[in-house]
A and B are shown apart, each in its own frame.
Chain A
Amino acid sequence: MFRSTRWVWPVLVGLILGLIIMVYTTSGERTQITVVERWLRDAVSPLQKGITSVIDQVTETWNLFVNLGQIQRENQLLKEKLARLAAENALLQESARENKRWAALFAFQQDSEYNLLAARVIGRAIPDWFNLITIDKGELAGVRPGLPVITTAGVVGQVRQVTANTATVLLAIDSRSAIGGITADNRDYVLVEGAQDQSRLLKVRPLADDARLEVGGQVLTSGLGDIYPKGLTIGEIVEVQEDQYGLTVTGLLKPATDFARLEEVFVILPN
């Protein structure tokens, strides 16, 4: 292999000595590096960066591919969880709203001069134009047919039938309903009758020929009919009509109670 050995040994010894010196001088802490090292690292780093970047992309894609099934399962589970949480959240919000309403009702009940029994609306007659609701209080709670039903806003209607634990209430907007009323400003007695159509507006018919009805005027219960106590708000006159001879006037009244959104009501019990 090596034709002449004369020069080999001095070169070999020189190389070994050089190597020892190089290792020794670079074995300690080095804060400075040589130009060759700097050049080497600068030359290698773009290649390393490129390969690492490609590897990362491939690894990411591979992991995505491998984990696709798991991701789908997790996605499904998360969707179910989200739906469950959304439902729970809706229930909680509803509970919070209900609590708020009950707190207001309770305050109203405490301040009222009447013996009020709070009840929850648990059903409505089908179809809607029957204008009947069912509440969750009945005979056992002292509810009797004919008792008035109100909300914090005003008159609701009158109890028609009762069972042990429920009662059916005929709403004031029903055509079969008639409430004795009085205009708040002029103190004219009127009869407030249920709506004859689906307008949900009540008809106001004055009892005296010289009664004056004014748009915007409030109508309260008169207390003359033995059913509703005096002073409960029925609603506000929104329209006044004269007959063709100008002799009588009638009005249309917008009920103070929102009949479309009845949830909690009070039954006025006899003292």
Chain B
Amino acid sequence: MRALILSILISILFVLQSSFFSHLQLFGARPDLILGLVVAVAIIAGPREGILAGLLGGFLVDLYRGTFIGLSIPGKVLTGLAVGFVPKRVYADNLLVPIFTGLVAVILDQFTFLFLGQSFGLGQGIWISVRRFTFFGAGYTALLMPFIVKLVKTLYHEFLVRGWYKEQRIS
């Protein structure tokens, strides 16, 4: 069930990121909605959910790209893990926390991707576009974080809070 809901969410955000936000770029950059989702899920449901979201999201992104399949997974999985381990009380209902977390997460994810990518022969030229994307993309993602958190929270409550998942850390 968790995987199904996550898959649906990831698919929706993936389609939005690859089509809708291609038209809604900020200084040439798109938000990383998948990573935003990983962060949101980790905030709401903890590290295990965060890891699962990072795994599925990273795999989907890579599969669609068709090259270096699996390279996005470590960054996203580590993000899910790290954010999920932060005590829940830190987040509370403060909007600035997911925004800041999203900002840092995108930057870390991008650098993890590049760091690992270079080990597999990813070209140096990609740094130029990545720098630009990282800067504006991180800001863009951070701005959307409150909406993504709200979306995930609503869906999790709707589908899981009354079921077997009740004991999990859902706000």
Which residues does A use to contact B, with CB under 8 Å? Answer: 1, 19-20, 22-24, 26-27, 30, 33, 36-37, 40-41, 44, 47-49, 51-52, 55-56, 59
Q: Does B5 contact A (CB under 8 A)?
A: no
B 83-132 contacts with A by CB, 8 A: 116, 120-122
> Within 8 Å CB of A51, what residues of B?
15-16, 19-20
Residue from B47, B48, B64 within 8 A of A40 (CB atoms): B64
> Could you write out 18 A-B pairs with CB less than 8 Å apart?
A1-B47, A1-B48, A19-B70, A22-B70, A23-B68, A27-B121, A30-B66, A36-B63, A37-B64, A40-B64, A44-B11, A44-B15, A48-B18, A48-B19, A49-B19, A52-B19, A52-B22, A59-B23
Contact between B23 and A52, CB atoms less than 8 A apart: yes
Q: Which of B62, B70, B121 has the most CB of A within 10 A?
A: B70
Contact (Cβ within 8 A) A26 B47 = no
Q: Known pairs A30-B66, A37-B63, A51-B16. 15 more at Cβ < 8 A? A: A1-B48, A19-B73, A23-B70, A26-B66, A27-B67, A27-B68, A27-B120, A30-B67, A33-B66, A36-B63, A37-B64, A44-B15, A47-B19, A48-B18, A56-B23
Q: Is A40 a contact of B15 with CB atoms below 8 Å?
A: no
Closest Cβ of chain B: how far from A32's Cβ, in Å?
10
**B140 proximal to A (CB < 8 A):** no
Dominant secondary structure of chain B at its interface with chain A: helix
**A contact residues around B64 at 8 Å (CB):** 37, 40-41, 44
Q: Would you give the shortest CB distance from B11 to chain A, in whole angstroms? A: 8
Please determine whether B47 and A37 come into contact, CB atoms closer than 8 angstroms.
Answer: no
Given known pairs A1-B48, A27-B121, the reply for A40 and B60 (CB within 8 Å) is: yes
The 5 closest A-B pairs by CB, nearest first: A48-B19, A26-B69, A51-B19, A22-B70, A23-B70
Minimum CB distance partner of A2 in chain B: B48
- We find that the number of chain B residues with CB closer than 8 angstroms to chain A is 28
> Chain A contact residues: over half helix, strand or loop, or mixed?
helix
In angstroms, Cα B19 to Cα A24, docked, is 28
**When each residue 53-88 of chain B gets 1 if its CB lies under 8 Å from chain A and 0 otherwise, what string results?**
000000010111011111101100000000000000
Q: What is the CA–CA distance of A245 and B68 in the complex, to the nearest angstrom?
A: 120
Residues of B within 8 A of A59 (CB): 23
* Interface presence of B133 (CB below 8 A): no
B156 within 8 A of partner (CB): no
- The answer to whether B63 touches A55 (Cβ under 8 A) is no
> What residues on A are CB-neighbors of B22 within 8 Å?
52
Q: List, in ascending order, chain B residues with CB within 8 A of A52's CB.
A: 19, 22-23
Bound-state CA distance A55–B48 (Å) is 36
Given A19-B73, A36-B63, A40-B60, verify A55-B15 contact (CB < 8 Å). no
Asked whether any CB of chain A lies closer than 8 Å to the CB of B14, the reply is yes
B66 and A55 contact, CB distance less than 8 A: no
B-chain residues with CB within 8 Å of residue A55 when the two chains form the complex: 19-20, 23
Bound together, the chains give a CA A20 to CA B74 distance in angstroms of 10
CA distance A252 to B120 in the complex (A): 108
Partner pick for B15 among A27, A36, A48, CB 8 A cutoff? A48
Residues of A within 8 A of B120 (CB): 23-24, 27
| Shortest Cβ distance from A27 into B: residue | B120
| CB–CB B67/A40 < 8 A | no
CB nearest neighbor in B for A21:
B70
Residues of B within 8 A of A40 (CB): 60, 63-64
How far is B18's CA from A27's CA once the two chains are assembled, in angstroms? Answer: 22
- CB-defined contacts of B19 to chain A, threshold 8 Å: 47-49, 51-52, 55
